[in-house]
Amino acid sequence: MSRIKEFNLPDLGEGLTEGEILAWLVKVGDTIELNQPIVEVETAKAAVEIPAKWAGQVQAIFHPEGTTVEVGTPIIAIDTDPGAGPVDDLPAPSAASLAAVDIAPAEGAVEPGLIGGPAPGGRTAVLVGYGPRTTAAKRRPRKGAAPAQATTPAAPAPVVAAPAPVPAAPVPAVNGNGHHGGPVLAKPPVRKLAKDLGVDLRTLTGSGPLGSITREDVQQAVAASSAAAEPLTVGAAATSAASFGADREQRIPVKGVRKLTAENMSRSAFTAPHVTEFLTIDMTRTMKALDRLRGRREWRDVRVSPLLLVAKAVLLAVKRHPMVNSTWAGDEIVVKEYVNLGIAAATERGLIVPNIKDAGRLTLRELADAMTDLVQTAKAGRTSPAAMSGGTLTITNVGVFGVDTGTPILPPGESAILAFGAVREQPWVHKGKVKPRMVTTLALSFDHRIIDGELGSKFLRDIGDFLTDPEAALLAWT
């Protein structure tokens, strides 16, 4: 049996057919351990680190960063017995697997932006969710450049050179590894920023730990480039004619999270008949209850926000109206006795909707801890595809962006989604007098094939009743 093992891109879940190599965490010649992360791959749902299947020494890397690779294609070769001497049987990926690879846009290409973030164009609207992918993956058009080929040594050698870079790439400066060439050390948010600003990371010298490139390095490079450019005089600016050519247009590739979001939302919007109802409520007592909760000794280190009680209200309302937590299956309606509660989260790669499994069985403290873990994992870019699958009911908190309300689109496979708007101090009639109160607006979209107007209205009313007086509702409903 050959000691050289080819590691294929695995199926990362939910039937995903391809992934883009964001960053290699190892290079040719490195000694790696079993389960050591070796590559970061972005799929249509998340960016994940893939661990090594074997311990040994990296002999070849078949695909450079930025390459889109189909599941099952060899991406790296590992010598599982490097101490046994030189090798001369290094395998190369098949011609068919190499022909299936498309080269991603160059380093300077602009990635899609994100909700509430600095990228031009923005991400998909916040009122979205995820569901199982049902459309077939389509390969992107070839860019005219031939795929990189793995290098097979002509004579026995302990280390085989990595594949040649894509033609026309600039000569790299000393990168985060402290030498020319090889993967650049930079976190995914920094890579995203560099793509948005058109900065080639390979031309920078990192100032971060181990020579990694930081956001400041990218921003300084942009500032230096602007300062070096020839300034336009006031007279020239005043007399120059307006231009509307391609140099003033931005083309954002539709791929990854944005592509799957578009497919899911189009399918949901035109297959499930949507109805949206609105309810404006006085949340003053809820806000006071949260203040008292934060003041308790056992809750002082817990992240407590209004969304926590909104989630609790939804879970209790589902117990009173279980049909809301269901799926349309053509000739039958599947009513689920568990609630996988989705919480929409804006991340560096766009909006994702991970869910809290069986949230209805959790205590209020357990629910708070689960929501904190969900948000922290999402912001770190470590949400797994499994965490985003199987959702049954979703909440999207548009209030964090200062938005009063909206008409959310149903995540595929779900029958209801609640939008929670901003909580603002407004004049409100309370006990016969107009007083300043903390007011918000809830919006509930639902599938009218399953939920009629009466059921949807009662479900939304019960959520509103809970948030109007949560302590009384807890005593009456539990």
CA angle 166, 167, 172 (to 5 degrees): 75
What is the three-class DSSP state of 196? helix
Q: Measuring CA to CA, which residue among 28, 15, 14, 169 is closest to residue 90?
A: 28
CA distances from 182 to 4, 154, 384, 431 (A): 22, 22, 27, 70
Q: What is the DSSP string of 80-113?
A: S-GGG--B-------HHHHHT-EEPPPTTSPPP-
Distance, in Å, from the CA atom of 350 to the CA atom of 190, rounded to the nearest integer, reads: 15
Distance, in Å, from the CA atom of 171 to the CA atom of 427, rounded to the nearest integer, reads: 63
Q: Measuring CA to CA, which residue among 71, 48, 45, 68 is closest to residue 132?
A: 45
How far is C-alpha 110 from the chain's CA centre?
17
CA angle 444, 260, 40 (to 5 degrees): 120
Distance, in Å, from the CA atom of 227 to the CA atom of 221, rounded to the nearest integer, reads: 10
Tokens of 76: 């790296």
Contacts of residue 228, Cβ cutoff 8 Å, sequence gap at least 6? none
Distance, in Å, from the CA atom of 11 to the CA atom of 245, rounded to the nearest integer, reads: 42
Q: Are 93 and 375 in contact (CB under 8 A)?
A: no
Q: What is the DSSP string of 220-231?
A: HHHHHHHHHSPP
The verdict on whether 274 is a catalytic residue reads: no
Q: Catalytic residue among 179, 180, 430, 448, which? A: 448
225-238 burial: b if 16+ Cβ within 10 Å, else e: eeeeeeeeeeeeee
Distance, in Å, from the CA atom of 187 to the CA atom of 190, rounded to the nearest integer, reads: 5
Amino acid, res. 235:
G
31-55 burial: b if 16+ Cβ within 10 Å, else e: ebeeeeebbbbbbbbbbbebebbee
- Residues that are catalytic: 448
